[in-house]
Amino acid sequence: MTGDASQDLTRFLGDDRFATVLADPPWRFANRTGKVAPEHRRLSRYPTMTLDDICALPVADHLEDRAHCYMWVPNALLPDGLRVLAAWGFEYKSNIVWHKVRKDGGSDGRGVGFYFRNVTELLLFGTRGKNARTLAPGRRQVNMLQTRKREHSRKPDEQYKLIEDCSWGPYLELFGRGVREGWTVWGNQADADYKPDWKTYAYNSSLAAE
């Protein structure tokens, strides 16, 4: 991914169109001290984007007439997530809650939060076009995932099976890490050899596979 994300996405996708989009945007926000996370120098892990730049990504130009979107958004930035969904051509319908748990199944309280200690994150769900209900498994799927944390910002791999069961392809992942069979993955960490280069939890993706 180059400096101009919109142009890079356009070049990368060409004339391809997709029916399901999964996105984990690199949200930018500041706390009351004025320090911006996660790009603050003490926490530097990956580049972030402004809300306007995320909204400006030409996602709508690469969608089929009937499509689904799954978008990760921090609890504090829910209004921003809804704005991006609309900018990309989707109508918000529901959400899936990721409950981050410890090995013993209790809530993992290592999350951040100025008002409450966050142990959840939201996966917003939106649709485009007519007759865009989820597939039959989606109407049996509960809207909660309960898994342990992995490296910073990485979402649970369980999301892929859920999405593939509930929504049809072709599948596009934006701001993805690594590659996945059957998906087109775009992002500056979207390569087969991706590994985190920052301090992370002991329970991360490389250990989980062992």
Residue by residue, pLDDT tens for the chain (210 residues) are 555 999 999 999 999 999 999 999 999 876 544 444 444 444 444 589 999 999 999 999 999 999 999 999 999 999 999 999 999 999 999 999 999 998 888 888 887 777 898 899 999 999 999 999 999 999 999 999 999 876 656 789 999 999 999 999 999 999 998 888 999 999 876 664 544 443 444 444 443 333
Whether residue 107 lies inside any domain: the answer is yes
Whether residue 196 lies inside any domain: the answer is no
Whether residue 161 lies inside any domain: the answer is no
Whole-angstrom Cα distance, residue 67 to residue 77? Answer: 24
Output the pLDDT for position 115: 87
Whether residue 20 lies inside any domain: the answer is yes
Chain-centroid distance, C-alpha 150:
14
Q: Is the dihedral of CA 26, 30, 34, 40 positive or negative?
A: negative
Output the pLDDT for position 108: 85
Count: domains in the chain: 1
What is the pTM (predicted TM-score) of this model?
0.84
Q: What is the CATH number of the domain that holds 28?
A: 3.40.50
Q: Are strands 144-147 and 91-100 parallel, antiparallel or unpaired?
A: parallel
The phi-psi region of residue 187 (left if phi > 0; otherwise alpha if psi is between -120 and 50; otherwise beta) is left
Output the pLDDT for position 55: 97
Q: What angle do CA 148, 151, 156 make, to 5 degrees?
A: 45
**Long-range pairs for 184-189 at CB < 8 Å and ≥24 separation?**
184/13, 184/16, 184/18, 186/1, 186/9, 186/12, 186/13, 187/1, 188/1, 188/46, 188/47, 189/46
Output the pLDDT for position 114: 78
Whether residue 192 lies inside any domain: the answer is no
Whether residue 207 lies inside any domain: the answer is no
Whether residue 92 lies inside any domain: the answer is yes
Expressed as residue numbers, the domain containing 42 is 2-155+167-186
Whether residue 194 lies inside any domain: the answer is no
